[in-house]
């Protein structure tokens, strides 16, 4: 059995290691501050592409510690933008589901297992709402419980507010009423099966952002989203060929733009991403962007 037998390094020892590998460090105290508050291991995620793994992890010529910190700051700002707009998508999805199903089946539709194609999703959704409603922290739930003492569950418009995005994405995927799901999908400008995969994938991205994980050049391979190929739904502009497109940040932006455009066409999501990239002079090839992205990205069409 393999054992992890590496010896811990002090921050000063980490600095010496970085210097040995050719990293330009002009101010030890500044680097010590970052290593102490961020940690060496987290920062290594912003170093790999600047190193030659075949040559003892030597850094490319003229690479400075500031290059690494700038990239770290860029990624942090990038996650903040993505989280901001994922929130808008999540709220819109919850609203559409609750409105359409409540109108057709009543406020407590989510308690009817027959409306679910996947019974495990039904049980999971019901349990999460039940657990929260038994000991509510939100003021609107406390008021509902005090006003309607005979109710053991809140109505749909309140219930979906307390669901996580992860549960909400599984809810949409697990619902049985195909016609209603198609109505929702049409309003988002996509086919229902594709849309379901997008929500699951975006939730994975949300979790990466919420846990402060590196995003900008990470290949996100879990629950890869479906890339539409029908003319009515497919992406226009530059779409890289090959199997990796739906693991890249370029794909994330393409998907989120398509969803945001459906209910908020004047949003500034892609312009914020573009401005941030230019501010930090980022090599977008590592983000999966095509060469002509500034004029022919999917969001320009």
2 assigned to some structural domain: no
Backbone phi, psi, residue 107, to 5°: -65, -25
281 assigned to some structural domain: yes
Number of domains in the chain: 2
Same domain, 57 and 81: no
Beta-bridge mates of residue 52? 58
Same domain, 97 and 214: yes
Same domain, 176 and 266: yes
- Residue 1: is its pLDDT beyond 80? no
Same domain, 222 and 178: yes
282 assigned to some structural domain: yes
On whether the CB atoms of residues 143 and 120 are closer than 8 A, the answer is no
Banded pLDDT at 233 (limits 50, 70, 90):
very high
Distance from C-alpha of 248 to C-alpha of 128, rounded to nearest angstrom: 32
SS (H, E, C) 132-169: HHHCCCCHHHHHHHHHCCCCCCCCHHHHHHHCCHHHHH
On whether the CB atoms of residues 235 and 258 are closer than 8 A, the answer is yes
1 assigned to some structural domain: no
6 assigned to some structural domain: no
The beta strand positions in the chain, using DSSP E, are 51-52, 58-59
In terms of Cβ atoms closer than 10 Å to its own Cβ (0-12, 13-18, 19+), residue 227 is middle
Distance from C-alpha of 217 to C-alpha of 284, rounded to nearest angstrom: 9
Distance from C-alpha of 88 to C-alpha of 266, rounded to nearest angstrom: 13
Same domain, 23 and 127: no
Measured distance between the N- and C-terminal CA atoms of the chain, rounded to whole angstroms: 54
The stretch 245-255 carries a mean pLDDT of 97
Same domain, 168 and 286: yes
Question: Which of helix, strand or coil describes residue 227?
Answer: coil
Domain with 223 in it:
72-300
148 assigned to some structural domain: yes
Distance from C-alpha of 201 to C-alpha of 97, rounded to nearest angstrom: 18
Same domain, 17 and 86: no
- Residue 202: is its pLDDT beyond 90? yes
Express each pLDDT in 264-297 by its tens digit.
999 999 999 999 999 999 999 999 999 999 999 9
Q: How far is CA 154 from the centre of its chain?
A: 29
pTM for the complete prediction?
A: 0.94
Same domain, 130 and 273: yes
CB atoms within 10 A of CB 170: 21
Express each pLDDT in 77-118 by its tens digit.
999 999 999 999 999 999 999 999 999 999 999 999 999 999
164 assigned to some structural domain: yes
183 assigned to some structural domain: yes
In terms of Cβ atoms closer than 10 Å to its own Cβ (0-12, 13-18, 19+), residue 103 is exposed
Same domain, 281 and 219: yes
On whether the CB atoms of residues 82 and 209 are closer than 8 A, the answer is yes
What count of Cα atoms within 13 Å lies in the side-chain half-sphere of residue 53? 4
Banded pLDDT at 12 (limits 50, 70, 90):
very high
């Amino acid at each position: 059995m393999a054992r992890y037998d590496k010896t811990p390094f002090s921050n000063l020892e980490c600095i010496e290691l970085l210097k040995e590998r050719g990293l330009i460090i002009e101010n030890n105290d500044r680097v010590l501050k970052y290593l102490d508050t961020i940690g060496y291991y987290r920062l290594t995620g912003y170093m790999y592409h600047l190193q030659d793994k075949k040559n003892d992890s030597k850094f490319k010529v003229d690479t400075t510690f500031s290059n690494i910190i700038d990239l770290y700051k860029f990624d942090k700002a990038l996650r903040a933008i993505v989280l901001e707009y994922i929130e808008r998508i999540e709220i819109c999805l919850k609203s559409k589901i609750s409105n359409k199903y409540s109108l057709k089946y009543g406020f407590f539709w989510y308690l009817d297992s027959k409306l679910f194609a996947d019974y495990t999703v039904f049980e999971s959704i019901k349990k999460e709402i039940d657990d929260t409603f038994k000991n509510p922290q939100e003021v609107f739930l406390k008021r509902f419980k005090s006003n309607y003492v005979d109710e053991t569950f809140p109505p749909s418009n309140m219930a979906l507010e307390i669901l996580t995005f992860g549960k909400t994405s599984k809810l949409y995927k697990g619902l049985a009423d195909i016609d209603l799901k198609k109505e929702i999908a049409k309003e988002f400008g996509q086919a229902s099966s594709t849309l379901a995969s997008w929500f699951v994938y975006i939730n994975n991205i949300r979790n990466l952002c919420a846990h402060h994980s590196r995003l900008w050049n990470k290949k996100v391979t879990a629950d890869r989203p479906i890339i539409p190929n029908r003319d009515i739904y497919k992406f226009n502009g530059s779409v890289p060929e090959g199997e990796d497109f739906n693991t890249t940040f370029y794909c994330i932006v393409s998907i989120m733009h398509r969803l945001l455009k459906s209910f908020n066409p004047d949003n500034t999501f892609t312009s914020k991403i573009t401005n941030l990239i230019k501010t930090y002079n980022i090599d977008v090839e590592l983000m999966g962007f095509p060469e002509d992205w500034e004029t022919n990205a999917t969001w320009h069409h």
